[in-house]
A and B are shown apart, each in its own frame.
Chain A
Amino acid sequence: MPVYSARVLVSLRPSVLDPAGEATRSAASRLGVEGIAKLRIGKAVELEIEAPDLATARQRLSLLSDRLLANSVIENWTLEVAASGEGLGTSSPVGEG
């Protein structure tokens, strides 16, 4: 069965305060890096999944992202999937919740 590589990016919804992001932003200016107007911290989850085809892989990963990796009350997610070996980041995000 083919193996697909995936990356799920989980980010806080814009309306949710990110105090850790704010603390990191203030550290950026202490480092001397000025001009950081916004810094919000999320999570990147890297996966490999065996599935009969790309559509099935995407469907299973969407369910996983929606029901486990992200909490839709406070977080959004995007999903990138590619056949293993083809590399990620070449296609635009395909899912959002």
Chain B
Amino acid sequence: MTIGVVVFPGSNCDRDVRWATEGCLGVPTRFLWHEERDLSGLDAVIIPGGFSYGDYLRCGAIARFAPILQEVAAFVERGGRVLGICNGFQVLTEMGLLPGALTRNEKLHFVCEDTPLQVSPGRCQWLKGYADGETIHLPIAHGEGRYQVDPGQLQQLEDSGCVVFRYQANPNGSVGAVAGLTNPAGTVLGLMPHPERACDPATGGIDGRRLLASLLG
């Protein structure tokens, strides 16, 4: 089992993710520079948080054209697992691997706090260890995390079990309190909260450790 962590100019959670996967979980992890195209030997890819390419134009809009992401799209076609965290979630929506878009928080504030989430494992293969409706706590840290999709499509996502994480206190005004989504195949997961920042009791909670461990299972 080996994990790849995409690194864009402006990524700032790449090392945190590697600390979590390699340091806490003991899984060999390698960085994937945005200009690379080699995903050989990887079982999962994580697109970390940060401000890829400065988030110019829109969050994730320019990252979408990075050479590495063309390979990540092909990896998804082959059934590979991809996790997008925060800016990584924004990138996945810009790529069209997940529907909708992440927009400016309703109250404009950058929100940085621990937040309770309701888990609905739905179609997501790597959330099968979670009970439906289970609550976990993860930190969030974003200014543009308000999930937006039209009401009909939201209903479709809900009905098809693609909404796997919901905010219990909806800190950013997301439609349907959506905090995380999976694709219909259950292989691509995007979420605004940061599981990699909740992997050691010393840094406040270990709910993220279980989530990342499930990705590997």
Q: Is B125 interfacial (CB-CB < 8 Å)?
A: no
Whether B57 pairs with A68 at a CB distance below 8 angstroms is: yes
Min Cβ gap A11→B in Å is 13
Give residues in B with beta carbon < 8 Å to A.
57-58, 61, 93-94, 99-101, 103-108, 146, 148-150, 173
A residues near B93, Cβ cutoff 8 Å: 73
Residue of chain B at shortest CB distance from A22 = B108
Whether A73 pairs with B108 at a CB distance below 8 angstroms is: no
Cα distance A68–B62 when bound, in Å?
A: 8
- A/B interface sample: 25 pairs, CB < 8 A: A17-B103, A17-B106, A17-B146, A17-B148, A17-B173, A18-B104, A19-B105, A19-B106, A19-B108, A19-B173, A20-B104, A20-B108, A23-B108, A68-B61, A69-B57, A71-B58, A71-B61, A71-B94, A71-B101, A73-B99, A73-B101, A73-B148, A73-B149, A74-B103, A74-B148
Cα distance A70–B160 when bound, in Å?
A: 28
| New A-B contacts (4) at CB < 8 Å, excluding given A19-B105, A19-B107 | A17-B103, A23-B108, A73-B99, A73-B148
Whether B57 pairs with A16 at a CB distance below 8 angstroms is: no
Min Cβ gap A35→B in Å is 23
Main secondary structure of the interface of A (DSSP, over half): loop
Instruction: Please tell me the size bucket of the interface on A.
Output: 10 to 19
A residues near B99, Cβ cutoff 8 Å: 73
Main secondary structure of the interface of B (DSSP, over half): loop
A residues near B61, Cβ cutoff 8 Å: 68, 71
Cα distance A18–B58 when bound, in Å?
A: 15
Cα distance A15–B94 when bound, in Å?
A: 19
Cα distance A73–B148 when bound, in Å?
A: 8
* A9-42 interface bits toward B, Cβ cutoff 8 Å, 1 = contact, 0 = none: 0000001111110010000000000000000000
B residues near A16, Cβ cutoff 8 Å: 103, 148
Residue of chain B at shortest CB distance from A70 = B58
Cα distance A89–B99 when bound, in Å?
A: 35
B residues near A71, Cβ cutoff 8 Å: 58, 61, 94, 101
Min Cβ gap B95→A in Å is 11
The residue from A15, A68, A74 contacting B101, defined by CB atoms under 8 A apart: A74
Min Cβ gap A69→B in Å is 7
Min Cβ gap A53→B in Å is 27
* A61-87 interface bits toward B, Cβ cutoff 8 Å, 1 = contact, 0 = none: 000000011010110000000000000
Which of B103, B106, B173 has the most C-beta atoms of chain A within 10 angstroms of its own C-beta? B103
B residues near A68, Cβ cutoff 8 Å: 57, 61
Residue of chain B at shortest CB distance from A73 = B101
Cα distance A32–B217 when bound, in Å?
A: 60
